[in-house]
Structure formats: C-alpha cells, structure tokens
Amino acid sequence: MAKAHISATNATDKTIRAIDRKRERERRFILKKAKENAEEFAIRLTQRLIDREIIEINSVQSVQEVFIQQLKNLVTMDDFDIQLKVAPNRTLIPDPNIVSLYLTQYVIEDLINNPAIEDIFGEDIDVYRAIDSIFKVLRPPQ
C-alpha cells in the first residue's frame, strides 16, 4: 500500500483553515454577546465616551439608542459590509476586537451627523481604546 504524501503546503493550508475557523467562531461569539447585552453595553459605552471627553452630547438617551441599534444590527450584517466599514481602521492595532473597531469607525464617520452630538474629540486610537475598554470583555478567553 502506498504511503500518503503530506506536503508542507498541505500542512500550511490546514493551519490557515484552522486559524480562520477559530477567528470566525470568535467573531460570531462576540457579535452574539454584543447583541444579547446591547442595552448594558450602550449605557456603559456612552458613559465611557463622555467620561474620556471623546464626545460632547446634548441627549444621552438618544446616543444610547443609536448604540443599541448598532449593536443589535451587527449580528445580521453581511461580513462584507462590516469589513467595508472597518477598512480605514483595520491597521489601527494588531488583532482588534471587531465590535470595537466597527463602533470606532461608526463614531468617527456617522455619529457626528446625529443631532444629539455636539462634537467628537480625539484621534482614532483614542476613540478605539475608549470603546475597547468596554468591549474587551466580549473576547473569549484564549
């Protein structure tokens, strides 16, 4: 009987597929948890952005509702739409949290147009760190 030949590229392909599966499982887990706890995260996120003086607002409730809506919609969004949204900040940090990255870009691009927002301050990395300080709990333990 012939011995099966295992090439280096075959082993590499298996490793890459395993990493991709792990990342996809983590992504689905994070998005599901963000949706399940959207109200709590929205309250904490709004408060954190105000405390760190990233956003200046005139209606806390309005901003919280916007964040709740975004967190609930994330799980149903197409992967292409999410990747398109986070593309400008993808290289901000290595191995970013997808929810934090998405909301960072949302705050920078879209939230500024909300009538409840008076102004947004800080650089992209400052906004990401403030948001990720809330959503880092979503990452499953390594």
Q: What is the pLDDT of residues 33-47, one digit of tens each?
A: 999 999 999 999 999
Do 120 and 112 meet the contact criterion of CB atoms below 8 Å apart?
yes
Determine, yes or no, domain membership for 1.
no
Contact 94, 128 (CB under 8 A): no
**Inside any domain, residue 3:** no
Residue 109 lies in a domain: yes
Does residue 110 form part of some domain? yes
In a domain, 2, yes or no: no
> Can you read off the two tokens belonging to residue 104?
């960072």
**Structure tokens that stand for 93 in this block:** 């940090």
Q: How far apart are CA 14 and CA 30, in angstroms?
A: 24
Q: For residue 68, is it within any domain?
A: yes
Query: Which pTM value belongs to this model?
Result: 0.83
Domain coverage including residue 107: 8-138
Overall average pLDDT of the 52-75 stretch: 93
Residue 134 included in any domain: yes
Q: How many domains does the chain have?
A: 1
